[in-house]
Each structure stands twice: as C-alpha cells, then as structure tokens.
Amino acid sequence: MTMKFVDEYRNANAARQYARAIAASATQPWTIMEICGGQTHSIVKFGIDELLPPEITLIHGPGCPVCVTPVELIDKAIAIASHPEVIFCSFGDMLRVPGSRGAEEQERDLLAVKAKGGDIRIVYSPLDALKIAQANPHKQVVFFAVGFETTAPATAMAVYQAARQEINNFSLLVSHVLVPPAMEAILASPHNRVQGFLAAGHVCTVMGYTQYEPLVQKYRIPIVVTGFEPLDILQGVYMCIQQLESGRSQLENQYVRSVRRDGNAAAQQLIREVFEIASRKWRGIGEIPQSGLELRQKYAEFDARRRFDISSFAIAESPECISGQILQGIKKPYECAAFGDRCTPEHPLGAPMVSSEGACAAYYRYRQRSLVTK
C-alpha cells in the first residue's frame, strides 16, 4: 500500500502561492465556514488559517459526527453496552464521549463501561460488527451507527446483509445525520455570520452535490465542494473568495479528483433501501427537520432501541459547555471559559473536546500554548 497524492497536496511553496493569491483578491473581510470536522482538523494541524490574510475568517462547522450525536443516545449506548449478554461495537472515537451522568458516576463513557468488564470492541466498519455477530451467535451484537452520509452506505450494507442472511443477534443504535439540512439550519439562523461554505468533499463523493443547488439559490451563498489536504482547502477558500469578491453565488467543485455531480449511485440506492429521512436532534444545536436517517419499517427488527428496553434518563449537559455555539461557528473554542482548564481531552465537558475532528480538541492539541501565551 502506498499513499500517493498526499505530499503533493502539502507542498509549502504551492501553499504560499495560494495564500498570496487569496490575500491579493480579498478587499474586505469575509467569513467562510468549513463544514467537515476533517477539514477543521487539517486547518488547525497544518496552520492553514495562519497563512490566510486577516480579512479571511474561517469558522468551524458542525461536521463532526462524534460531536453532534445527542447525549441521550450516548446514555442509551452506555446502558446497552452494560448488558452482560451484549457485545457493543463502535468506531474508536465514540468511546470517550461523556454521557449525561456526572463525572462522579462510574459509567461516564463507554471506556468506563469497558473498564468495568463490558465487552466493547472498536471496529473500523459496520461489516466487522456483523462478522462478530456471526461468530458469537449466543451474544447480542450491537453496532453504534453514527456518522454522516460517508458512513451511511456501509451501515446500510450491514443491515441489508444481516436481513438477507437472517442474522438475528445483530442490531444497530442508529444516529446517522445529513449535512445539507444542517447547513440550511445555520443559514436560516438569525445569528448566522457565514458568507460562504466549503462543503465536505467526502460526503459529496457519496451523495454528489445537486442537493446544494437549492441552498445556493435560496440564500445566495457560494458553496465550494472541497477536499481535505492543505492545498485543497486553500484552493477552496480561493474559489470562495473569488465568488464573494465578484458578487457571484454559485456551486463549484474544487475536489474534482474525487467528487462527481451525481455521486455514487449504488451507495445512494443502498441508503434509500434501508433508511428513510427523519428529524434528528443534534447535540448542542437542537432538533433539525429532515436531518437524519432512520431504519425503514422493513428493517425495524434491527433497531437496538426496540430490542433493548431502555428507559429515558434525565438529561443534564454540563452547564458550562458552549458546544452549540462552537458547532454553529458563533464562538471559537478559546472563547469558552472552561477551555483548556476545566475542559480538556482527559476530562471533556462536551463532545467537541473528544473527537480529533472536534474543533475544541483540535485547538487544544495544536494551539493551546499560543493561546495561553498570547
């Protein structure tokens, strides 16, 4: 396995050229939001924002699946994973997300359940969870299905296969979310500051980008489908600035090496077969209509919420955490009073401090000292 086309997109000279071109074209302040947490991570890790002229402000969007998964669902995951007959499968970075119970309680996150003897396994694909179910017919295997349109096809495939092969000890705790409705929620908010979007390249690889055309028309805002490497992001910003400076609002595709207008038809068909669109609560933001995926009636037997009787908990988020404002780009992580002090990756108050794609964790990891010594 060799990774081609990585260093090519991290070239210092080319990055400086883009930064100069952006500086030369920006005649007034502009605020651009990158949607995807992967892009946020790249921006902070490589210091892309430091190369940009002061006119350009990048604000970080809600595209971190760990961050927006509702706290009551984390609580449900913790409750299910604590069952002795359950093997609970999850992507790695969900394990440290705090649930609603206080730090003094023992089952604070899934890692704590694991430490108490819960059988929790990190998987890299929902299909791995399905294999675990086949190998352990006397256990209930539950997969924590979180993520955007990028992970939904693999989840759909696991459900589809489980149904075809009648694997009855497999179920899913589903919390899939969709990007375009979240962008619309941000644009419709009276607090909105966003003047241009970098759309998430990987989401568009699956879904294509026709879904963004109504947003461009309704809100007269430039949207540039953008990749994840430093040069991708700089080029995306450049294309966005060109539109803003010339008064255009169009849908453009920077990430042409991966994204086609119509996306991946087979993946979309699989998603439609297994899921239907439903309203979804986003952690820190609230209910967004038509923003999630739910199992269709035909596949309802694979819904872990039906299989396990989980009573609702009283929900108590940390009153100090301002993750909602962070996720909507209203505040930067270092504007939070708890940042780096009462809230750290070791003791997160909210999800954006947990995932590598969370804005708070990215700032803490790569910027902490420069903020402290400022």
Q: Which is nearer to another protein, 45 or 261 (CB)?
A: 45
Q: Nearest approach, Cβ of 262 to another protein (angstroms)?
A: 21
CB of 37 to another protein, least distance (A): 9
Does residue 124 interact with another protein by CB under 8 A?
yes
For residue 35, the minimal CB distance to another protein (Å) is 13
Does residue 89 contact residue 123 with C-beta atoms inside 8 Å? yes
Q: Which of 93, 119, 232, 294 binds another protein (CB under 8 A)?
A: 93
Give dist(CA 64, CA 200) in Å, integer: 11
Q: How far is the CB of 298 from another protein (least distance, A)?
A: 26
- Among 50, 245, 262, 320, interactor with another protein by CB under 8 A: 50
Instruction: Identify which range of 141-149, 156-164, 169-177, 263-271 contacts another protein by CB under 8 A.
Output: 141-149
Rounded to an integer, what distance in angstroms lies between the CA atom of residue 29 and that of residue 22?
12
Phi and psi torsions of 227, nearest 5°: -85, -160
Picking from 243, 282, 336, 292, the residue whose alpha carbon sits closest to that of residue 70 is 282
Asked whether position 275 contacts another protein by CB under 8 A, the answer is no
Q: 94 vs 285, which CB is nearer to another protein?
A: 94
CB of 53 or CB of 345, closer to another protein: 345
Instruction: Scan residues 217-256 and list those touching another protein (CB under 8 A).
Output: 230
Q: Is 193 in the site for another protein (CB under 8 A)?
A: no
SS (HEC) of the chain: CCCCCCHHHHCHHHHHHHHHHHHHHCCCCEEEEEEEHHHHHHHHHHCHHHHCCCCEEEEEEEECHHHHCCHHHHHHHHHHHCCCCEEEEECHHHCCCCCCCCCCCCCCCHHHHHHCCCEEEECCCHHHHHHHHHHCCCCEEEEEEEECCCCHHHHHHHHHHHHHCCCCCEEEEEEEECHHHHHHHHHHCCCCCCCEEEEEHHHHHHHCCHHHHHHHHHHCCCEEEECCCHHHHHHHHHHHHHHHHCCCCCEEECCCCCCCCCCCHHHHHHHHHHEEEEEEEECCCEEEEEEEEEECHHHHHHEHHHHCCCCCCCCCCCCCCCHHHHHCCCCCHHHCCCECCCECCCCCCCHHHCCCCCHHHHHHHHHHHHHHHC
Q: Does 141 bind another protein (CB under 8 A)?
A: no
User: Which residue among 76, 108, 176, 202 contacts another protein (CB under 8 A)?
Assistant: 202
Nearest residue (CB) to another protein, 83 versus 131: 131
305 part of the interface to another protein, by CB under 8 A: no
Range in contact with another protein (rule: CB under 8 A) among 38-46, 77-85, 169-177, 284-292 = 38-46
Q: Which of 150, 226, 318, 323 binds another protein (CB under 8 A)?
A: 150
Rule CB under 8 A: is residue 38 a binding residue for another protein? yes
C-beta of 12 vs 103, nearer to another protein: 12
Asked if 350 touches another protein (CB under 8 A), the answer is no
Q: Contact between 314 and another protein (CB under 8 A)?
A: no
Q: Is 330 in the site for another protein (CB under 8 A)?
A: no
Is 280 one of the binding residues for another protein (CB under 8 A)? Answer: no
Tell me which of 55, 128, 273, 303 binds another protein, using CB under 8 A: 128
Taking the C-alpha atoms of residue 83 and residue 51, their distance in angstroms, rounded to an integer, is: 50
Q: Tell me the closest approach of the beta carbon of residue 370 to another protein, in angstroms.
A: 7
Region from 54-62, 92-100, 210-218, 294-302 binding another protein, contact rule CB under 8 A: 92-100
Q: Which of the stretches 161-169, 181-189, 235-243, 361-369 binds another protein when contact is defined by CB under 8 A?
A: 361-369
Q: Which of 242, 253, 240, 275 is nearest to 209 (CA)?
A: 253
d(CA 89, CA 93): 12
Binding site for another protein (CB under 8 A): 1-3, 6-7, 10-12, 15-16, 38, 44-48, 50-51, 65-66, 91-96, 121-124, 128, 146-148, 150-151, 202, 230, 344-346, 355-357, 364-370
